[in-house]
Structure 1
Amino acid sequence: MAAEAAGAGSDLVQVVALLAAGVIAVPIFKRAGLGSILGYLAAGVVIGPFGLAFFSEPEAILHVAELGVVMFLFIIGLEMQPSRLWGLRKEIFGLGAAQVGTCALLLTGVGILMGLSVPQAFVAGAGFVLTSTAIVMQLLEERGDTGSPKGQRMVSILLLEDLAIVPLLALVAFLAPGADAEAHSWADRLTSIGIGIAAIVGLILAGRYLLNPLFRVLADSRAREVMTAAALLVVLGSALAMQVSGLSMAMGAFLAGVLLSESTFRHQLEADVEPFRGILLGLFFMAVGMSLDLAIVVSNWHTILIFVVAYMLVKGVGIYLVARMLGTSRREGVTRAVVMAQGGEFAFVLYSSAAAVGIINGATNAMLTAIIIISMVLTPLAIIVLRRLMPPVEQSLDGVDVAEELNGSILIIGFGRFGQIASQPLLLRGIDVSIIDNDVEMIEAAANFGFKVYYGDGTRPDILHAAGAGRARAVLICVDKAETAVRIAENLKDEFPLTPVLARAYDRGTAIDLIHAGVDYQIRETFESALLFGGATLEKLGEDPDTVAEVIQDVRERDAARLEMQFSGTIQDGRAYLQGNTGAAPVPTPLTAPRRAAQALNEEAADVIARQKPQPAN
């Protein structure tokens, strides 16, 4: 019993070590801008056999953690609706295939020159071609480029690379050493291929004719835990079917995802699998970190360093050449080359599979893994250098008129969603409107709808003079950035104190800043629409329209009173509202910028609660 308790305690220590390492390392690395993947890898190194030695056999953990990659591929498959694949077909199978093929050939050549055999050079190079989806997507989201054309092109390449892991894993099985080939006849190999094809066809038929009816029956039972179990059954069952047939588990999971991508249960499946995927994928990266043999890295540091530099440079050159040959600008080509020059998480899967079938040995696997990890670490640093060396983008003004000597009765600064709507009543009344904006793409888009928008930066006093702010009957500030709106308002009131200025405010704090700047009218961009939304909700609940109008007006007046108190530098203590305003004196409090949002929210919440409490008799 004591021995069993000791064994159970040891297992629990390992579980706690895994959880603690991930919880500590990942936030630190994300705060440093290096991403969660590197955090998991570093955590694995620290607690692995070459660190604190909580684990002596990371291969056992890696075997279980590979299910995280399986589930990751299932979710990728769920995103691969045939309609989406067809819409991005040129970018995915044109640009993506060109980049993957070119870089794979170049990196295979590098491996051969460095003394690797052809199969080893191919596996090493193909693994490095697979860019880190997690790193690139994080960078695109931080820069707001995910939905832009250049961002979509990167996403398409990543999509092709994610798809490429499936045939690459299958190819690894056929590149097994010659001893395996001698042990099996051509008939055996053809039989294996036939079994694999039959398994794929069977999985497709099952996915098309069995999965949807199965989930429909389970959904009718309204047992949430059964739906979750069924989702895991589909993922792991399809992976097992492919593995038994001699193919990769990843291929089975991916096919299952594709088959369910247009199912009515797709989102339910993704929500059920996602928690398991996240935990197991993090465990996979930690197991990879544990598997990193630091002794081999130290003893071969010069070789690893040469490979890292050579692979990143050659892959970057290949990416740039493909981009330029397909008509991409020089700037976008350089940016793509730097952002995508690293290896990625799927390389670990490919190298593990290659080591399992004997294409590479354990030492080579450790060296290749170290090369990938170091390239991932260097990517954020390379992007910082790129941003410093690359000059800022200068917008081309070809075909765009610059604001100069405009004479409109009303000057509108900013022509986004808010400015476009605000201009419509003025135009319908026949009022002469001049519009300026500093977004060339928006100006060109507005021209397609018949709007004449001039290029101009409203924060510059000389541009305001040229745009006719001094001659305008009123100026409308409709920009979407709070600090920009305040700066424009201050410039307008300094240069043209007699010109009425009406401004769009992002929030209550911006509204107060605009009032301080001297604007004649300000409105929070979501305030009135939110009031109408709340009023519509009351009417749907059966309230009388006249009563709803009175309530909305009451909220509007209360808000105006609170805004006036905040502007004057004092606030009403929220406790007075909670006490039903029974004589508690207002507490003067300086209104500082960092506290504005919290103060406003607390006041509004207190006011609502007070109105729901019975008021004491006078």
Structure 2
Amino acid sequence: MAVDTGGGSLAQVIILLGAAVVAVPLFRKLGLGSVLGYLAAGLAIGPFGLGLIQDDGTLLHVAELGVVMFLFIIGLEMRPSHLWSLRGEIFGLGSAQILACGGMLTGVGMAFGFSLAISFICAMGFVLTSTAIVMQILSERGDIVQPRGQKIVSVLLFEDLMIVPLLVLVAFLAPAGAEPRDMGEVMENVAVAVGALAVLIAAGLWLLNPLFRILANAKAREVMTAAALLVVLGAAVLMEKSHLSMAMGAFMAGVLLSESSFRHQLEADIEPFRGLLLGLFFLAVGLSLRLDVVLASWQVIFAGVVAMMLVKGSCIYIVARLLKSPHCEAIDRAIVMAQGGEFAFVLYQAANHQGAISDQVNANMTAIIVLSMVLTPLVLLAYKRFARLPAPSMEGVEAAHDLSSKALVIGFGRVGQIATQALLVSGAEISIIDNDPEMIRAAAKFGFKVYYGDGTRMDVLNAAGARHARVILVCVDDKQAATRIVENIRETCPHTKLLVRAWDREHAVELVKHDADYVIRETFESAMLLGREAVRMLGASDPQADEFMASFRRRDAERFTLETTGGVFAGRDLVLGNTAKKIE
């Protein structure tokens, strides 16, 4: 007997959970991934499978909260300064990809015999990539914090920003007989959207941190969890009521809380809800696939799915290559982002309501979007299996496991190799990890035992003995990875002495704010020595050159102190270059 999703019956919850519990482990065991498992489970229990659940679209709307919470957690990882550093990718790469894909997909629609207006609406719906599918894939691969993952996230953010302009364009593309919308109403909607963003930013800057501080002092864990959900859902609803994306609202709330001392607590509170609701979203997508529509127009829908995915993927690849991305990164981005997204449902419904597209076009395009989402994990698996990507050889490389030393060195490149020399001469017991197999094999030829491991992962840090180390040296040549490592270590090993290589001054400030005990900019000392030698060759005596350098060190330390404190780090020893300065 079918269960109506609008009835609020407990039976539907049991059916949904049961389908996920059976399908997801099975598909992961087969190497097909959890996303495909959820989609298949939704299709199996839906109206065209076993018919256990009859969904009217309500479930999909509710399940979008999983995407919302996912974007909130991503926002927590993106500080405003980091988001600002991505502005080139967000507006440059994002606009280039949308314009290229939109133009080519409009051409596909016209080749199928549709008018320019209908082709454009269908194309722009398909251009907007599925945030849920892509973010889940990036999360499972651990790519979200990597440079190639950050470019994809930037494009997704720009696509979210395009929602209001696209809805406005749909209104203007409506036929003459449709209900008119004057310019005043359009401008009012834009003003409401801008005002909602301003309210959200103001609340994040001046309200949220004091609120969580009060709740933390109350020492009621369940209230903190309720407050975290309130922030996420409140931001999402505010954006939705302002004709913006719920996901964008949650992301902005996360960014505004990324500097908060409650960031890790918020992430821990939201994570269980995020995982469950995101799985529910994929189930709902499987439920929403109408096989009767597919069978009735299977030739058009099949041709549409293939043509639109191929054209969109090709455009993404070309744009990526033109913007200097490597071949492997470009083709990976093309495959991951080749599908349509969940916002297309909203766009097509709005266009259908205003008479811009017919019921038949709406049904066919919705089916094409859902099928493209279902096919993406399959295409990705096929590519991995048949592309024969070159993988680094792990011969002669041993993964970190059950290590326990007084000193742990993370990264054994140019800086790490030199930094370990004093430890070795002193006779200290040390462990070394790195994520480059070639470097590990090269180090072995000179008698160094280096273990394989990614220091940004907590399980690797635990295996490398981070909890037992008295001193940890972070020498990796990646500022984002270094910051991530410091955050993880400080969360689990708060009393371990942490010495970190900084990429530049801004990075050094960030590391100090994350409680690193000793920070040194990688070019600082060599540049100081060059400067000293330059003034000496211009006629200064050795004592004069030393005084010039000492004066600069004092000014640099004072500026650095102003940038990193304001009383926050009072009483700590901060090391700048080779000058220790006590912060009062």
Name the residue aligned to 1:195. 192
Aligned with residue 312 of structure 1, among 309, 314, 317: 309
In structure 2, the partner of 1:159 is 154
Aligned to 1:124: 122
Q: 1:335 to 1:80 in 2, by over 3 A?
A: closer
Whole-Å Cα distance in 2 between the matches of residues 73 and 275 of structure 1? 14
RMSD of equivalent CA atoms = 4.5
Distance 1:198 1:8 in 2: 34
For residue 78 of structure 1, the aligned residue among 76, 79, 94 is 76
SS of aligned partner of 1:23: helix
Task: Provide the rounded CA distance (Å) in 2 between the counterparts of 1:392 and 1:60.
Answer: 42
Q: How does 1:45-444 map to 2 (within 5 A)?
A: 45-132=43-130, 152-168=147-163, 171-172=166-167, 174-176=169-171, 177-178=174-175, 182-344=179-341, 347=344, 351=348, 360=357, 363-383=360-380, 386=383, 390=387, 393=390, 420=417, 424=421, 442=439
Match for 1:30: what amino acid?
R
Quick check: 2:289–2:370 contact (8 Å CA) kept in 1?
Answer: no
The partner residue of 1:37 within 35, 38, 42 is 35
Q: 1:331 to 1:216 in 2, by over 3 A?
A: closer
* 1:248-280 per-position Cα deviation (integer Å, ceiling 9, x unaligned): 444433333333232333332333233223222
1:364 Cα offset (Å): 3.7
Measured in 2, the distance between the counterparts of 1:371 and 1:135 equals 15
Give me the whole-angstrom Cα distance separating, in 2, the residues matched to 1:71 and 1:218.
Answer: 21
Distance 2:55 2:265 in 1: 36
Is contact 1:45-1:289 (8 Å) kept? Answer: yes
Match for residue 22 of structure 2?
24
Task: Give the total of aligned pairs.
Answer: 434
Q: Deviations over 1:538-572 (max 9, x none)?
A: xx9xxxxxxxxxxxxxxxxxxxxxxxxxxxxxxxx
Preserved contact between residue 312 and residue 341 of structure 1 (Cα < 8 Å): yes
Inter-partner Cα distance in structure 2 for 1:423 and 1:208 = 43
**1:160, CA displacement in angstroms?**
2.0
2:519 matched residue in structure 1? none
Distance 2:140 2:246 in 1: 33
1:185 deviates by 3.7
Question: Aligned letter for 1:90?
Answer: G
1:261-304 CA-to-partner distances (Å, cap 9, x unmatched) read 32333332333233223222322222222221111111211112
Q: C-alpha displacement at 1:123, in angstroms?
A: 4.0
Change (3 A) 1:326 1:442: farther
How far did 1:347 drift?
4.5
Query: What SS class does the counterpart of residue 175 from structure 1 fall into?
Result: helix
Please give the secondary structure, in 2, of the residue aligned with 1:33: coil
Question: Do 1:418 and 1:478's aligned partners in 2 also have CA atoms closer than 8 Å?
Answer: no
Report the Cα distance in structure 1 between the residues aligned to 2:197 and 2:161, rounded to whole angstroms: 13
CA distance 1:312–1:12, change in 2 (3 Å): same
- Pair 178,218 (structure 1): closer, same or farther in 2 beyond 3 Å: farther
Q: Contact conserved, 1:308 with 1:375, CA < 8 A, in 2?
A: yes
Q: Name the CA distance, whole Å, in 2 between partners of 1:244 and 1:9.
A: 25
Deviation at 1:20, TM superposition (A): 0.8
Distance 1:144 1:416, change over 3 A: farther
TM-score w.r.t. length of structure 1: 0.59
Q: Is the 8 A contact 2:74 2:254 kept in 1?
A: yes
State the 1:220 CA deviation.
1.5
Is the deviation greater in 127-136 or in 215-224?
A: 127-136
Q: Is the 8 A contact 2:35 2:136 kept in 1?
A: no
Structure 1 residue matching 2:162: 3-state secondary structure: helix
2:490 is matched with: none
Inter-partner Cα distance in structure 1 for 2:28 and 2:302 = 25
2:25, 2:56 → 1: CA distance?
23
Query: What residue in structure 2 maps to residue 609 of structure 1?
Result: none
The equivalent of 2:11 in structure 1 is: 13
- Give me the TM-score of the superposition, normalised by structure 2: 0.62
Aligned to 1:401: none
Q: Distance in 2 between matches of 1:328 and 1:142?
A: 22
2:144 & 2:235 partners in 1: Cα distance? 32
Contact 1:34 1:377 in 2 (8 A): no
Contact 1:109 1:121 in 2 (8 A): yes
Shift of residue 305, structure 1, vs aligned partner: 1.5
> Which amino acid letter does the alignment assign opposite residue 26 of structure 1?
V
Rg larger in structure: 1
Q: Give 1:313 shift.
A: 1.8
CA distance in 2, matches of 1:195, 1:180: 27
Residue identity matched to 1:50: F
Name the counterpart of 1:3. none
Tell me the SS of whatever aligns to 1:58: coil
The worse-fitting range, judged by mean Cα deviation, of 209-218 and 179-188 is 179-188
Deviations 1:136-180 (A, max 9, x none): 566667777666xxx513431233224412432563255133579
Distance 1:258 1:153, change over 3 A: same
**In the alignment, is the contact (CA less than 8 A) between 2:285 and 2:370 conserved in 1?**
no
**Cα pair 2:100 2:315 within 8 Å, conserved:** yes
Q: Which moved more, 1:212-221 or 1:244-253?
A: 244-253
Inter-CA distance 387–245: structure 2 relative to 1 (3 Å threshold): closer
Range moving further from structure 2, 105-114 or 138-147: 138-147
Q: What pairs with 1:418-497 in structure 2 (closer than 5 Å)?
A: 420=417, 424=421, 442=439, 476=447, 478=449, 480=451
Gaps of 5+ in 1: 1-5, 396-413, 430-436, 444-452, 459-466, 468-474, 483-506, 508-524, 534-539, 541-618
Tell me the amino acid that sits aligned with residue 286 of structure 2: G
The one-letter code of the counterpart of 1:226 is V
Question: Could you say which residue in structure 1 is the equivalent of 2:553?
Answer: none
Residue identity over aligned pairs, in percent, reads: 54
Deviation at 1:88, TM superposition (A): 2.9
Q: Distance in 2 between matches of 1:194 and 1:422?
A: 56
